[in-house]
Amino acid sequence: MFRLIPREEKFFEFFEEAATNILEGAKVLAQMTDERGAELQEYWKQLEEFEHVGDEITHRIIRKLNQTLITPIDREDIHSLAVALDDVMDLIEASASRMSLYKIKQPTEEARKLAQVILKSAEEIVKAVSNLDRIDDVMEHCIEINRLENMADDISREAIADLFDKRHDPMDVIKWKEIYETMEMTTDRCEDVANIVESVALKRA
């Protein structure tokens, strides 16, 4: 379609950059939960850097949005997607910070499972966001993110139940309950990203 005023397509590049940053952060979180006796604070410091990068990308998107007359997708969708992507990275960092601050000696199997679900969700976010400007294969990735979120719900629910069913130190119960809930919340925010991407794709179809 002929356009008198070209639309700013830079937003898609920013979204891909934010999604890739999330994926790199998710890889670090997975490493953090997979290594016995690892120095958790070092991993947390790495994730703080990724979180700062995510904040900067979000600020760039908002600045570009305020400067752009005609956008490739609805303005509210651009803002919502930018915030949702930033929330995912924030919660990945928050999961790591809790393990470090609570001086966790060894990540649990349930934490490893949740970290793997977060990693797989991040991979699907990259695929979905990368196809957003073409609308190709977006829906299947959104569906997979929703499936992964349900899986994280089950893992978190069973992990928390185990904390109270077995004899655990009360302080460990408090610490791990918060860690599990933060990790599960991360997958909730991944699902938010998927829902926004799905909505945008349907509008552009």
Domains within the chain, CATH numbers bracketed: 10-200 (1.20.58.220)
pLDDT tens figures, 61-117 = 999 999 888 888 999 999 999 999 999 999 999 999 999 999 888 899 999 999 999
- Sorting pLDDT into bands at 50, 70 and 90, what band is 136? low
Question: What's the chain's average pLDDT?
Answer: 91
Q: How far apart are CA 114 and CA 154, in angstroms?
A: 10
Report pLDDT for 205. 72
Percent of the chain with pLDDT over 70: 94
- pTM for the predicted model, two decimal places: 0.93
* Local structure of residue 105 (DSSP, 8 states): S
**Three-point CA angle 179, 162, 111, nearest 5°:** 35
**pLDDT higher than 50, residue 6:** no
Residue located via tokens 């977006």: 138
